[in-house]
Amino acid sequence: MTRLRQFFLCVFATFLIGASLAFCTHAQSNSPVPLRAESTLVVIPVSVTDASNRFVLGLEKQNFSLLEDGVEQKVKQFAGEDAPLSIGLLVDVSGSMGMKLRTSREAVAEFLKTMDVHDEAFLVEFSDRAKLVVGLTGQTHDIEDKLTSIESEGLTALLDAVSLGIDEMKKAKNPRKALLIISDGGDNNSQFTPDQIEKLVREADVQIYAMGVFEQFPFAALSSAELSGPHLLQQIAEETGGRAFPARNSSVLPTLARQIGVELRNQYVLAYSPSNEEKDGKYRKVEVKLHPPEGLGQLKARWRVGYFAPAH
């Protein structure tokens, strides 16, 4: 068994223990509970790029330092190799997508090509409402087959789709989890508010990436929600250490999807046990600092910016 496989088995076992504790608490109280870091390990995926936005590989554990609320933490586990992923695909099928659905299908197909045998994925479609159409599976052709029959109609329940994706991701078998959103605008038909989704995103151990196909010259008929689409997608993505890619032309979606797939496969993973053992349920800010070897120049890191501590 490789060191990397041992690392992720360890992390996953710890995750299962934490999930069991959270489930028991929920069952006893019979009320919803937020997803919090119940385990002793906090897992932080980190993407590192150079000045030309190329991924930087080959860094070692000593090239990173990690702080929680300004206090340096000891990195107990480190992996700089590819690792299994659980992916949620959230595809906008609202009326405004129209002919963009064809390139959305192509984008999903390109992304699925980057997955390997240990990965799993699910598909959520959203228009007037969000619905899970393919649950977590390692058979990616099920997702591609389902996308061939989608039609464009209705409004856009983007925030409800994010909530549904986070909920489905609780069933994931892999510690590394990400949602990929493909949409052409902001939300105009969700039950959830942006503030509620921001809170859910902070509580979930999930990276969010988004591909937004926006009008190059927005016209007056667009609602305020639709006009705010680019900012909304960027905000919820960056909160998790992911990214939002704006596209002024739907034809670039497959290229962006492939780029996101490559990024997810070229991340470092740092895990630590917080020195602050208080179970106060508070949000804790995480910061990653790089100490690259000489000659690499200026590097940039992206990571999940925080998590909620367990509560009594």
Q: What is the pLDDT of residues 91-138, one digit of tens each?
A: 999 998 888 899 999 999 999 999 999 999 999 999 999 999 999 999
- Top pLDDT among 116 and 37 is at 116
Provide the pLDDT for residue 216: 56
228 and 301, same domain (yes or no): no
238 and 226, same domain (yes or no): yes
Q: What is the mean pLDDT of the chain?
A: 84
Provide the pLDDT for residue 40: 72
- Distance between CA 164 and CA 167 in Å, rounded? 5
**Which residues are CB-contacts of 184 (< 8 A; sequence separation ≥ 6)?**
92, 94, 96, 97, 100, 212, 213, 214, 229, 250
Model pLDDT for residues 198-226, shown as the tens digit of each residue: 888 888 889 999 998 765 555 545 556 55
- Residue 263 is classified by DSSP as H
Model pLDDT for residues 9-32, shown as the tens digit of each residue: 444 444 333 333 333 333 333 333
Token pair recorded at residue 146: 């389902």
Provide the pLDDT for residue 99: 86
Arithmetic mean of pLDDT, 28-52: 67
Q: Residue 276 is which amino acid?
A: N
Count of domains observed in the chain: 2
* Backbone torsion region of residue 179, taken as left when φ is above 0, otherwise alpha when ψ lies between -120 and 50, otherwise beta: beta
Token pair recorded at residue 256: 């962006």
222 and 298, same domain (yes or no): no
110 and 203, same domain (yes or no): yes
Which residue in the block uniquely carries the two structure tokens 């667009």? 222
**Which residues are CB-contacts of 104 (< 8 A; sequence separation ≥ 6)?**
91, 92, 97, 147, 182, 250, 253
- Top pLDDT among 96 and 168 is at 168
Query: What is the helix (H) or strand (E) element at residue 230, kind and residue range?
Result: helix 229-238
Provide the pLDDT for residue 215: 56
Arithmetic mean of pLDDT, 48-73: 95
Tell me the pLDDT band of 8, cut-offs 50, 70 and 90: very low
Tell me the pLDDT band of 248, cut-offs 50, 70 and 90: confident
Where is average pLDDT lowest: 22-36, 238-252, 270-284?
22-36
- Distance between CA 49 and CA 299 in Å, rounded? 6
Arithmetic mean of pLDDT, 167-186: 92
Spatial contact of 273 and 40, defined as CB atoms under 8 Å apart:
yes
Spatial contact of 180 and 211, defined as CB atoms under 8 Å apart:
yes
155 and 64, same domain (yes or no): no
Q: How many angstroms separate the Cα of 254 from the Cα of each of 82, 107, 259?
A: 22, 4, 9
Whole-prediction pTM: 0.82
Token pair recorded at residue 120: 């799993």
**Which residues are CB-contacts of 53 (< 8 A; sequence separation ≥ 6)?**
none
- Residue 178 is classified by DSSP as E
Report the CATH number at residue 178.
3.40.50.410
Percent of the chain past pLDDT 90, that is, above it, reads: 59
- Interhelix angle 229-238/158-169, nearest 10 degrees: 20
Provide the pLDDT for residue 223: 57
Tell me the pLDDT band of 250, cut-offs 50, 70 and 90: confident
Provide the pLDDT for residue 226: 58
- Residue 94 is classified by DSSP as S
β-pairing, 306-308 with 283-290?
antiparallel
247 and 282, same domain (yes or no): no
Arithmetic mean of pLDDT, 138-160: 93
Where is average pLDDT lowest: 45-49, 118-122, 151-155, 229-233?
229-233
21 and 149, same domain (yes or no): no
**Which residues are CB-contacts of 13 (< 8 A; sequence separation ≥ 6)?**
none
Is the pLDDT confidence value at 67 over 80?
yes
Spatial contact of 245 and 50, defined as CB atoms under 8 Å apart:
no
76 and 129, same domain (yes or no): no
Q: Residue 140 is which amino acid?
A: T
Provide the pLDDT for residue 249: 81
DSSP, collapsed to helix, strand or coil, labels residue 204 as coil
253 and 273, same domain (yes or no): no
CA-derived radius of gyration, the chain: 19
148 and 125, same domain (yes or no): yes
Domain membership of residue 159 as a residue range: 85-264
172 and 288, same domain (yes or no): no
- Distance between CA 127 and CA 130 in Å, rounded? 6
Spatial contact of 128 and 159, defined as CB atoms under 8 Å apart:
no
- Top pLDDT among 87 and 231 is at 87
Which of 19-23, 72-76, 194-198, 239-243 has maximum average pLDDT? 72-76
121 and 70, same domain (yes or no): no
